[in-house]
Every structure is written in C-alpha cells, then in structure tokens.
A and B are shown apart, each in its own frame.
Chain A
Amino acid sequence: ETAVFQTPNYHVTQVGNEVSFNCKQTLGHDTMYWYKQDSKKLLKIMFSYNNKQLIVNETVPRRFSPQSSDKAHLNLRIKSVEPEDSAVYLCASSFSYEQYFGPGTRLTVL
C-alpha cells in the first residue's frame, strides 16, 4: 500500500513536555510537509523538506523542529509544548506540488 502514514493518531501531554510525531510516505515523493490545523480548521504550512533541505519555514516558533533521515521520512519534534500547540498536525508529501496527506496526529496540551 502506498500512502502517507502518521503516528501516533492522538497524543495528550502536559505543558513543557517534549513530543515527537512521525511521518512516513511510500509514494516515492521528493518533498514532504508539515501542516498545523487549529480548532477552527485553519490549515497553515509549517515546514517543507526537499532532499533534506528546508525550503519553507512559516514563522514557526523555535520549539518546533523537523527531522528527516531520508526523503521518505519527516518527523516533527516540539521541544517544550505550549497550550496553543493543541491542534491536528498533518503531514503531506508531493512530487510535483500535488500534495497527498496523512491522517493527522491530534495533540492535546493540558
């Protein structure tokens, strides 16, 4: 099966903790992305990675960092979570800008 996979589906944590979300794509794409979708369903791009190079970083707080081991994986680490980080984090991949999304990871910060 070729798709975009994300783990975990859900994560609940407390303010100040570190979290890490995984994303893997088996579509053979060369670019991967992380998006944040807030409670109002607003989608904002956070990062995009092409051949291990960060292409776009949309004024994301420094506590967020993408981590890539190869072009099929792009993880997202949050060093010290804040309440406003509660959201759904969506991973996507593309070859020629046509994007395919994973199912998302819902983060709740208590």
Chain B
Amino acid sequence: GDKVKQSPSALSLQEGTNSALRCNFSIAATTVQWFLQNPRGSLMNLFYLVPGTKENGRLKSAFDSKESYSTLHIRDAQLEDSGTYFCAAEADTGYQNFYFGKGTSLTVIP
C-alpha cells in the first residue's frame, strides 16, 4: 500500500478562504517536506519539518511523528496558490529515502 497518503486528492477553494491538506504515513517518518508544483512543472520547497510546526506567511505546517501525520494549512487562498501540493516523508531507514504522496491538486477560483 501507499506509504504516504495525501488527502484530499483535489480541492477547489474560493479566493480568500482557508483550507487544510493532510498526509498520513504508514512508515516511521523522521522528517516531512511540503512542495508546490506549479502548472509549468517546477517543484517549489514550502516547508521542511522535523516534528513540530512552522509558519510562513499564509502557510502553516505541522508534523506529528507519533501520530504519523502532517498538515498544511492555507489561509486567505490566492489565485497563485493553485497547483499540486506534495508531501514527502523521509523514512527512518538510515538512508536518505524519501516517499512522496500522490499530491493534492488545488484550484483557487476568483
């Protein structure tokens, strides 16, 4: 089965509203990263997390290694937030082995 499950798979948001994306892990994740892939295909690094929370502007992310999940909160969604959001977990194998979720496709509508 999938080692990293992302939800929802797709989401439409009205501009100015808030939402949350989630990743559940079936592996012992030690770190989590969140990326945004824009329509041109470029992957932009949003957050790199050890267990805890980080905030950057309208984005906030949390990683709970004990409960094996991570969330990404988007506040006051803007049109440029549209794209596919991926989370990636680093497995506790002693090697740099990353597992990606299948992504959440976000569309922000005016």
User: Footprint of B on A, CB under 8 Å?
Assistant: 31, 33, 40-45, 48, 50, 55-56, 58, 88, 90, 92, 94, 97-101, 103-104, 106
Contact = CB atoms under 8 A, between A and B. Distances in A.
A56 B95 contact: yes
A42 B102 contact: yes
B29 to A, nearest CB: 12
Interface of B: 31, 33, 35, 37, 40-45, 48, 84, 86, 88, 90, 95-100, 102-103
A97 B102 contact: no
B4 to A, nearest CB: 10
Contacts, number: 53
A42 B100 contact: yes
8 contacts: A33-B98, A45-B98, A48-B96, A88-B41, A97-B31, A98-B48, A101-B35, A101-B43
A99 B102 contact: no
Nearest to B101: A43
Interface SS majority for chain B:
strand
Given A88-B41, A104-B41, A43 B100 contact: yes
Given A48-B96, A103-B41, 19 more contacts: A31-B96, A41-B84, A41-B102, A42-B100, A42-B102, A45-B97, A45-B98, A48-B95, A50-B96, A55-B95, A90-B43, A92-B43, A98-B33, A99-B33, A99-B98, A101-B42, A101-B45, A103-B40, A106-B41
A44 B100 contact: yes
A101 B95 CA distance: 19
Task: Provide the main secondary structure of the chain A interface.
Answer: strand
A56 B96 CA distance: 7
* 3 closest A-B pairs by CB: A98-B48, A101-B43, A43-B100
Contact of B45 (A50, A58, A99): A99
